[in-house]
Amino acid sequence: MADPSHEHTLESSVQGAVRLQFGEVRIRNRGWLPHWEKEAGLYFITFHLGDSLPRQALHEMVERNRILASAKRSGARLTPAQEVFTAKYSQKRIEEYFDHGIGECLLKVPRVAEATAQALRFWHAKRYRLVAWCIMPNRVHVVCRLLPGQSLPDILKGWKVYTARETNRILGRRGTIWRREYYDRLIRGESEFYRAVQYVLNNPVRAGLENWKWVWSEGRELSTAGQETGGT
């Protein structure tokens, strides 16, 4: 049975996730993906380890986005070949690809996962409000609301810098660990909000990860995720 207090906290988080008005959103293009930004926006964010997706596949994802955007602007229908290509790199297919555990999967190391969880928790209620997060073996999913005056790129930079430094220290290695680009979606309605939260919480089950500890949502004690495996 659902915890009523948990449902209440999730309901409070969705406040403000409303249809966007003209002029509220700034579209920033950096790297390969466009980013929609809104003051105190509610976001679904995913960032990946650097070896979680081959460069060729990433280029083809960008080409897919270009084809879809061009077709939308012109009102043209996709050719049969374009339909096959875009279906190959749909968001669902891409996530299935990630679930196969491509790359070294450094986040499977409990101490690395705990360092990542610490990074997410550190600025909670100071720069953003966490709603849900999940640390997968090769990527991290987060649903959070930025607090007024905060910048999503700065927050992502903080997460990545800290976790890269700690991961290298823990594993005795050097170099970057994260892919420069990240995925973010500005949540614009209640149904979209609940889909994002459920997606994050169910990700380990879909990927076949049994007894996965690195998942959390609002209404739970913030420091408990991973407590049975963290730090060892």
Residue 231 scores a pLDDT above 70: no
Side-chain half-sphere of 13: how many Cα atoms within 13 Å? Answer: 29
In this model, does residue 150 exceed pLDDT 60?
A: yes
Contact (Cβ atoms closer than 8 angstroms) between residue 163 and residue 107: no
Residues ≥6 apart with Cβ < 8 Å to 142: 43, 44, 45, 46, 120, 130, 132, 133, 200
If you average pLDDT over residues 82-95, what whole number do you get? 74
Asked if 116 and 225 touch (Cβ cutoff 8 Å), the reply is no
Range 1-14+40-51+105-232 classified under CATH 3.30.70.1290: yes
Q: Regarding predicted confidence, which is higher, 165 or 68?
A: 165
Q: Kindly report the CA angle at 89 between 102 and 91, in degrees rounded to 5? A: 80
- Asked if pLDDT for residue 230 goes beyond 50, the answer is no
pLDDT at position 92 is 65
10 Å CB burial of residue 82 (0-12, 13-18, 19+) is middle
Taking the model in full, what pTM does it have?
0.71
What is the pLDDT averaged over residues 134-151? 94
Res. 14: pLDDT tops 80? no
Whole-number CA gyration radius for the chain:
18
Alpha-carbon span 14 to 188, nearest angstrom: 9
33 by Cβ neighbours in 10 Å (0-12 / 13-18 / 19+) ranks as middle
For residues 122 and 207, the model is more confident at 122
Q: What is the pLDDT of residue 32?
A: 43
